[in-house]
Amino acid sequence: EWLRGETKLPLVLKGIIAAEDAVLAVERGVDGIIVSNHGGRQLDGTEATLHALPRVVDAVAGRAEVLMDGGVRRGTDVVKALALGARAVLVGRPCLWGLAAAGEEGVLRVLEMFRQELMLAMALCGCPDLGAIDRSLIASA
């Protein structure tokens, strides 16, 4: 609440994995939530962000943007996250692998692979654009 009162800039909170925390964040004025377990560095046994995402999206109920960070390794992971309600995904580790392997060109290659995998996954799912990706693509266990 204090920070919301200090700025008119969009306020995005990272590290949310519980629906209850997402509701509290929205009630206190955040504009966006990043569902993240911080790469498992703080708690190695924490829930995967992809599993927590639908509960957070449902709890927020459109009152804030929901993004997902963590565990995104390929284009199909992007499709899953978008289908479960993420507005966008954050990709860190694969870009760092590309950077370590081949510098700037490596990062560009990683991002191009993501783009190609995303486009292929969308085509195989019958989605002509990102707006066509929804929860109907996800089979429940």
What residues act catalytically?
Answer: 38
Going by their DSSP bridges, the two strands 12-16 and 65-69 should be labelled as unpaired
Instruction: Match 């599993």 to its residue by tokens.
Output: 51
Q: At what angle do helices 75-83 and 93-124 cross, to 10 degrees?
A: 70
Instruction: Match 């954050």 to its residue by tokens.
Output: 90
80: nearest Cα among 8, 19, 25, 134: 134
Evaluate whether 100 touches 106 at the Cβ level (below 8 Å): yes
